[in-house]
Amino acid sequence: MAWVSLNIEASDRNAEALTDALMALGALSASIEDANAETLDEQPIFGEPGDPPPGIWQQNVVSALFDADTDITAVMAALAETTGFSDLRYTTETIEEQDWVRATQSQFDPIRIRDDLWIVPSWHAAPNPDGLNIVLDPGLAFGTGSHPTTHLCLSWLADTIKGGERLLDYGCGSGILAIAAKKLGADEVIGVDIDHQAIQSSCYNAERNEVVAEFCMADRFSGSQQYDIVVANILSSALSVLAPALASACKSQGRIALSGILREQAAQVSAIYEEWFDMDAPVFMESWVLLTGQKR
């Protein structure tokens, strides 16, 4: 079985209308994509919580999938009639049937954090069987090891954990940092998140990695205990608001690691935490920053 993909050049003024019209004309699916994706002109449109909605990209490609025997010329004529948009530029390509599961899996290889620390999808063999390997598949919760902020936190944990520590992972996502902490030798680990899906993913991933860690929703986290290590890989706006709570959760002489911070946000976030911590020099990876410090 095969399908035909219709790809139409669009702008931010007509992309959504074209998508709706194509679905009404019998498209099996329709989507809007950045025409400049994976180029230097790629346009980010997602900001911090509370920022005004940015809309969509200025230059787009509207892609619609049709049955292989669809008369695309007739579809384009009907599209122009129903939307009033004429002289639309478009291309088509044939999409052959394939094993979509294997095609998706082929995009995710083991991720090297360092030679002795790897994130390994379940369908791959560990590149270093003698290293610390975290089995983790891409899922709904944030944190597969591919993002620079997760990479920075994992590397820091590997350097920091000596064994026997109590650790709080605030904003646990997939549970990857909590699981890594346990495998690195931390004694008691708790992960906290505001997303129920994250808690489910964390529990599942911990069981798959044969580690024991506690995960709970933020509204059920008492915050009355203190930890040797506190790590939070969340947005900078949340880090700023949560600073007093995260500082309170860290014991005297304990260590904190903060990520999810863009380079231009680092100084502001660091200044907030300097009220409680002696902050280290920031560590950068691409446009992201890891801030660490020791509580006074």
In CATH terms, are 2-97 and 144-295 the same topology? no
Q: Answer yes or no: CATH 1.20.58.760 is held by domain 2-97.
A: no
What pLDDT is stored for residue 49 in this prediction? Answer: 43
User: What superfamily does domain 144-295 belong to in CATH?
Assistant: Vaccinia Virus protein VP39 (3.40.50.150)
- All structural domains of the chain with their residue ranges: 2-97, 144-295
57-92 residue pLDDT tens: 788 999 999 999 999 999 999 999 999 998 899 999
DSSP 218: G
Confidence at 122, pLDDT banded by 50, 70, 90? confident
Nearest of 139, 141, 173 to residue 154 by alpha carbon: 173
Q: How far apart are alpha carbons 191 and 177 in whole angstroms?
A: 9
> Is 192:172 a contact under the CB 8 Å cutoff?
yes
What pLDDT was estimated at residue 22? 96
The rounded distance, in Å, linking the Cα atoms of 177 and 153 is 7
User: How far is it between the farthest Cα atoms of the chain?
Assistant: 71
Write down the pLDDT at residue 53.
45
pLDDT tens digits, one per residue of 191-215: 999 999 999 999 999 999 999 999 9
pLDDT for residue 240: 96
Give the confidence band of 2 by pLDDT, cuts at 50, 70, 90: confident
Q: What is the pTM of this model?
A: 0.67
pLDDT at 121: 85
- Helix 72-83 / helix 15-24 crossing angle, nearest 10 deg: 120
